Amino acid sequence: MPPSPKRTGLVFFPAFDWAISPTHPEREERLLYTRDQVLEEGLLDLDNIVEYRVRPATFEDIQRVHFCVPDEASVTTESHLISAGGCLVAADAVMNREVDNAFALVRPPGHHAMRVVHGNRGFCNINIEAVMVEHIRRTYGVKKVAIVDTDCHHGDGTQEIYWHDPDTLFISLHQDGRTIFPGTGFPNEMGGPNAVGATANIPLPPQTGEEGFAVVLEELVMPLLERFQPELVINSAGQDNHYSDPITDMNFSARGYAALNARLQPDICVLEGGYAVESALPYVNVGIIMAMAGLDFRNVREPNYDREYRPQSPDVTQNVDRLVSRLRQVFLKGKYEAPSHSPGEVLERKREVFYDTDGIFERQRELIRVCRDCAGALGVESAASTGNHVFAVRIPPNACPACRRTAESWFEQAAEGTFTQVFLQDRDRDTFERA
């Protein structure tokens, strides 16, 4: 069946004047060759591709998601705000029906940034997808959103932000955490007590290729989406599963990424990682744009594809097939042990977070009120090696009165304590307070 053209919005922000450091992979040149390839292909001249200008996100946009310690200005640069703002532009274009779908080709990325931000983790400070999703919810009243993270690294930041949210289905496909940063993303991570099953991790064996991704998409991702019935599908489109990526060990291709997007049909794509800036990104991005725009992408491939792409090996195929049938049982047939908690109970979990880029160590104690009426009151005590020791409280959208009372009492108690700062993020009233 010939693909039918769609109107695709493109928000391109290569930040040609910003880098983490002069030789860091997240540097000025990263989208240079992508820009070259997109221009040379003439994609911007197509009537159904519309390019948009970025705008910076505001601190209010950030505060719907994050608790920035000590404040937003200290942990973000203009570039982070523009990258997040690029996603907002893409979202507005889609939600206002100016386009059928949109691709935010922006940097720096965001999917390792968690709810509490003390600094940079995995090249990320601000979770640009989450900022976008919460903007969409606030502005357009959308409830159910699915985020499919196809970056090679587990999207641990996005997972953590949506861990307790039953209205956000987070699916992450990534190289098995036992072999790569950040070392998480296993199938037993399925969401918090109020959102069990809204997180689905699919850790793929190293060297998974085009066939493996296609099987996972067809047998796991699409059925999960079918069951969840999201109003919007977002692809966290990291591109480091590519066979030429220097910091990962996968075997995916430009054509594979294009086919994945043609099948997934995301409403919005957001660029995440991917550091094969010359050999992968130009072709992967062209493939994704063409797939989103409904163009025939059969002629898209890396110039060295015939020489350098090796088809998926039989043992990888076997491992992927085994994984898929096991996870189908868990995710789709419900074969897992659901923890039983009574409503009103407050559960505690402790965790440690390492900010690899900035070398910060953080200890967290998290409180969640088990609730069947809303996503639950959330409290996070966070002490970082920077000396900051904060308590952050979140009231979810459409909070029930009991969770609101609980959250407010946590905030009042904490404000009288010895924390360096106390935050209250009230998503029901869209306000943000510090004490």
Which active-site residues does the annotation give? Answer: 112
Contacting other proteins (CB under 8 A), which of 8, 76, 79, 382?
Answer: 79
In the complex with other proteins, which residue's Cβ is closer, 33 or 419?
33
Q: Which of the ranges 93-101, 121-129, 260-268, 302-310 carries the binding residues for other proteins, by CB under 8 A?
A: 302-310
| Contact code string over 44-73 relative to other proteins, x by CB under 8 A | -x-----xxxxxx-----------------
Contacting other proteins (CB under 8 A), which of 2, 4, 17, 229?
Answer: 17
Q: Which of the ranges 5-13, 96-104, 161-169, 415-423 carries the binding residues for other proteins, by CB under 8 A?
A: 5-13
Contacting other proteins (CB under 8 A), which of 7, 9, 27, 127?
Answer: 27
Cα gap 385→345, rounded to integer Å:
31
Q: Which of the ranges 24-32, 62-70, 309-317, 393-401 carries the binding residues for other proteins, by CB under 8 A?
A: 24-32
| Least distance between other proteins and beta carbon 29 (Å) | 4
Distance of CA 186 to CAs 74, 113, 189, 193, 411, Å?
33, 18, 6, 17, 33
Q: What type of residue sits at position 416?
A: E
Work out whether 305 is an interface residue with other proteins (CB under 8 A): yes
Residue at token pair 């660029």:
271
Give the interface size with other proteins as a residue count (CB under 8 A). Answer: 50
Q: Which of the ranges 37-45, 131-139, 179-187, 426-434 carries the binding residues for other proteins, by CB under 8 A?
A: 37-45
| Contact code string over 229-268 relative to other proteins, x by CB under 8 A | -----------------x----------------------
Contacting other proteins (CB under 8 A), which of 131, 295, 371, 380?
Answer: 295
Q: What is the dihedral of CA 74, 83, 235, 169, to 10 degrees?
A: 30
Work out whether 35 is an interface residue with other proteins (CB under 8 A): yes
Other beta carbons within 10 angstroms of residue 398's beta carbon come to 13
| Least distance between other proteins and beta carbon 98 (Å) | 12
Q: Report CA Rg, the chain.
A: 21
Q: Give residues with Cβ within 8 angstroms of 328, minimum separation 6.
A: 219, 220, 223
Contacting other proteins (CB under 8 A), which of 13, 123, 355, 419?
Answer: 13
Q: Give residues with Cβ within 8 angstroms of 129, minimum separation 6.
A: 87, 110, 111, 147, 158, 234, 236, 270
Cα gap 104→53, rounded to integer Å:
11
Label residue 229 exposed, middle or buried (CB < 10 Å: 0-12, 13-18, 19+). exposed
In the complex with other proteins, which residue's Cβ is closer, 80 or 369?
80
Go through 323-357 and write b for each residue having 16 or more CB atoms within 10 A of its CB, e for each that does not.
bbeebeebbeeeeeeeeeeeeeeeeeeeeebebeb
| Least distance between other proteins and beta carbon 33 (Å) | 5
Q: What type of residue sits at position 124?
A: C
Work out whether 302 is an interface residue with other proteins (CB under 8 A): yes
Pairing of strands 378-384, 389-395: antiparallel
Contact between 425 and 432 (Cβ < 8 Å): yes
Q: What type of residue sits at position 281?
A: L
| Least distance between other proteins and beta carbon 46 (Å) | 9
Contacting other proteins (CB under 8 A), which of 3, 29, 178, 310?
Answer: 29
In the complex with other proteins, which residue's Cβ is closer, 84 or 220?
84
Work out whether 283 is an interface residue with other proteins (CB under 8 A): yes
In the complex with other proteins, which residue's Cβ is closer, 223 or 246?
246
Classify 410 as helix, strand or coil. Answer: helix
Contact residues: other proteins, CB under 8 A: 11-18, 22-25, 27-29, 32-33, 35-37, 39-43, 45, 51-56, 78-79, 82, 246, 278, 282-283, 286, 290, 295-296, 299-305
